[in-house]
Amino acid sequence: MPAPPAIQAFVDKLYAVSDVGPDAKASSHDDYADLFTPDAVLIMGQNTFEYRAGILAFREAGWTKVATRKHVCRGIFVTDKPNEIMTYGDLDYGNRDGSSTLGVSWSGRLQLVEVGGELKIAFYQVWITLPKN
């Protein structure tokens, strides 16, 4: 079953905003945090980040060694729970030291809620598989 248009648009926006770093747009960290509810939980690997402050700290740390990133979402799976989805895709990084990390596979589980007529992330868990070199 295809994702509803509002969810597809939100997922497109999420990964587009994820790919804009502070070198390109000063407000990029706030733009990313604005996609979440104030009490959201983000789990990345073994690390949990809570609330806006935690999500901002995660976001800022994620751009210290990275100069560019490009997510390609390969699919969205809608679950039987309203506004709960799974996503998966690929990710390429351009690192500040001039090296690249290509072909990172990721998947995510998102619980979305509507706030003021907009979808926001209440919970987001991400799994990453780095390419074998």
User: The whole model's pTM is what?
Assistant: 0.93
Whether the Cβ atoms of residue 68 and residue 53 lie closer than 8 Å to each other: no
- Give one word for 100, left, alpha or beta, with left for phi > 0 and alpha for psi -120 to 50: beta
More confident residue, 111 or 132: 111
pLDDT tens track for 50-83: 999 999 999 999 999 999 999 999 999 998 887 8
Nearest CA among 93, 123, 125, 128 for reference residue 111:
123
Q: Give mean pLDDT, residues 105-128.
A: 96
Spell out the domain ranges in the chain.
Answer: 5-129
pLDDT digits (tens, 9 = 90+) for 81-113: 878 999 999 999 999 999 999 989 999 999 999
CATH of domain 5-129: 3.10.450.50
Taking all residues of the chain, what is their mean pLDDT, rounded to a whole number? 94
Q: What is the DSSP letter of 26?
A: T
Confidence label for 133 from pLDDT (cuts 50, 70 and 90): low
**Tokens in use for 106?**
């990721």
